[in-house]
Amino acid sequence: MEKIIEIKDLVYEYKNEQNEGVAALKKVSLQVNEGEFLVVIGHNGSGKSTMAKHMNALLLPSGGKVYVNGLDTTEEKNTWAIRQTAGMVFQNPDNQIVATIVEEDVAFGPENLGIEPKEIRNRVDGALKAVGMDAFRKKGPHLLSGGQKQRIAIAGVIAMKPKCIILDEPTAMLDPSGRKEVMETIRQLNREEGITIVHITHFMDEAVQADRVIVMEEGNIVLEGTPKEVFQQVEILKKLGLDVPQVTELAFQLKSSGINLPAEILTVDEMVVHLCQLL
């Protein structure tokens, strides 16, 4: 499988208030494959957002290398092409919305790329349909819900035709309904459009939907695998101060009480099947 992002021994240091160097990332290595849905979890300060910003060349390494579609992020001549390949969606959609009409906002990115007007129209139409917001094209973004605003922010990135979208906690400020809307959009883009997704989140139920999960702690990757492989490590995750999906927690507690259940249960449906088998 082709890799779209390659991180090799990535180190990133920032200066604290005493002007001392503090390592936010400590020789992190990772590959993201084309078409993959990768989720990165970890508590605040674990380095997950810092790593995500390196994938879009918003931050540059203090040590090591990051390659996006084979392009070295430290070479300034590559920055434009890297950001066309890997689009970024942030936590607060209001920080990405720049126009007073939805379709004008989605057109903003392609216009800055110098795309022909006819092609911009096609891209805007396609992007709005892809996120299910075509009916809102003439609305003002200020009239939309949080989930709808985030979908518009995603549409603005899609209109630039990236191969990969990096989402830095895009559901953190949303209510459950908005979170569901955004996650359905992300899954659809990955499965139907073939867009590679790197999703940074602290919601474990979102991580369950991924192809692969990365767990970060103190600037390092400490766990990696499929959702089933990662979330059956309940005791390790708890030591790291992380939750597990509620159903997985229930399975863990029942198993600890002597009930014969597998440790890798992630969904309510899986729990129902296994409990029915026991009965």
pLDDT in tens, 215-244: 999 999 999 999 999 998 888 998 988 888
Question: Is residue 19 domain-resident?
Answer: yes
Q: How many CB atoms lie within 10 A of CB 165?
A: 24
Q: How confident is the model at residue 123 (pLDDT cuts 50, 70, 90)?
A: very high
Question: Is residue 251 domain-resident?
Answer: no
Question: Is residue 109 domain-resident?
Answer: yes
Question: Is residue 83 domain-resident?
Answer: yes
CA distance to 115, 158, 237, per residue, from 66 (Å) = 28, 23, 28
Q: Residue 36's domain spans which residues?
A: 3-227
pLDDT, one tens digit per residue, over 8-43 is 999 999 887 777 788 999 999 999 999 999 999 998
Indicate the residue type of 159: A
d(CA 127, CA 256): 48
Is the pLDDT score of 136 beyond 70?
yes
Q: How confident is the model at residue 179 (pLDDT cuts 50, 70, 90)?
A: confident
Across 70-92, average pLDDT: 93
CA distance to 47, 239, 261, per residue, from 242 (Å) = 15, 7, 22
- In sequence order, the 6+-apart residues with CB closer than 8 A to the CB of 63 are 9, 10, 11, 12, 27
Question: Is residue 204 domain-resident?
Answer: yes
Question: Is residue 260 domain-resident?
Answer: no
What percent of the chain is modeled with pLDDT above 90? 61
Is the pLDDT score of 1 beyond 70?
no
Give the CATH number, domain containing residue 125: 3.40.50.300
d(CA 127, CA 142): 19
Q: For the chain, how many structural domains are there in total?
A: 1
Q: What is the pLDDT of residue 113?
A: 83
Q: How confident is the model at residue 277 (pLDDT cuts 50, 70, 90)?
A: confident
CA distance to 23, 47, 79, 141, per residue, from 219 (Å) = 7, 5, 24, 36
Across 61-70, average pLDDT: 96
Question: Is residue 256 domain-resident?
Answer: no
Rounded to the nearest integer, the mean pLDDT of the chain is 91
Q: How far is CA 122 from the centre of its chain?
A: 26
* Dihedral of alpha carbons 193, 197, 199, 204, sign: positive
Q: What is the pLDDT of residue 172?
A: 87
CA distance to 33, 215, 231, 232, 233, per residue, from 226 (Å) = 14, 11, 9, 10, 12
Question: Is residue 266 domain-resident?
Answer: no
